[in-house]
Amino acid sequence: MKDNLRQYVSKSISLSDRELDEFCDLFQSSTVKKKSFLLKEGEVCEFEGFVTKGLFRVYRVHSNGVEQILYFAIENWWVTDLDSFTNASVSKLHIQALEDSEVLLISRKDKEYVYEHIPKIEKLFRVMTQKTHIALQQRMMDNLSKTADQLYLDFIEKYPQLSQRLNNLQIASYLGISHEFLSRIRKKIFIK
């Protein structure tokens, strides 16, 4: 499982073999069955996770019972509730496996340790945070300026490997539209 993490880190920053081993050894592997939770609302997120196999959804449930998916995480993507993890606060999110999955988890304490002992790792997480911030900013701008049709087409173009692993309800929840509206969009697109 840690080979994926090693490759991911090596593509982003240069570490000695000793540093890479030390960093990877701080992660604990976890197997999560389909429909099981890594995190539930009301818990404190004690980890950042690197997905080595499978698929997760990160979502919240609104007071009216409607689920809103913030993001998905597949192989070589990271998964966490950053607010809860960083601030040791109660999570407002759920993290659930949509497939049988495997994930490598690092604790807050171990992450702080690695920042102190392998400072290059801080660059890795800074760059990841910047990329995430840019993606979220782009998603907000798209949601404000694009039609639901455009958002759907962008999603399947940007994430073809992901869109094939999700059902229409999950995609609709991510896009912030109803399942029925997504069905109409798909009919309209595939009739053309």
Report yes or no on 192 lying in a domain: no
3-state secondary structure of 61: strand
- Asked whether residue 154 is domain-assigned, the answer is no
pLDDT the model gives residue 122: 94
Assigned token pair, 29 = 């592997």
140 part of a folded domain: no
In a domain, 145, yes or no: no
Q: Are 58 and 94 in contact (CB under 8 A)?
A: yes
Establish if 148 belongs to a structural domain.
no
Burial zone of 32 (CB within 10 Å; 0-12 exposed, 13-18 middle, 19+ buried): buried
Q: Give residue 124's pLDDT.
A: 94
Q: Is residue 180 one of the residues assigned to a domain? A: no
**Domain assignment of residue 50, yes or no:** yes
For residue 98, the domain's CATH number is: 2.60.120.10
Alpha-carbon distance 47 to 106, whole Å? 5
Considering the domain boundaries, does residue 60 fall inside one?
A: yes
State the pTM of this model: 0.92
3-state secondary structure of 96: strand
Angle between helix axes 17-25 and 2-12 (nearest 10 degrees) is 130
The confidence score (pLDDT) of residue 51 equals 98
Q: What is the pLDDT of residues 140-153, one digit of tens each?
A: 999 999 999 999 99
Q: What is the span of the domain harbouring residue 63?
A: 2-118
Token couple for 20 = 């890479």
- Find out whether 169 and 183 touch, Cβ atoms under 8 Å: no
Q: Tell me what pLDDT residue 13 has.
A: 93
pLDDT at 14: 94
Tally of domains in the chain: 1
Q: Would you write out the chain's pLDDT as a tens digit for each of its 192 residues? A: 799 999 999 999 999 999 999 999 999 999 999 999 999 999 999 999 999 999 999 999 999 999 999 999 999 999 999 999 999 999 999 999 999 999 999 999 999 999 999 999 999 999 999 999 999 999 999 999 999 999 999 999 999 989 889 999 999 999 999 889 898 888 887 765
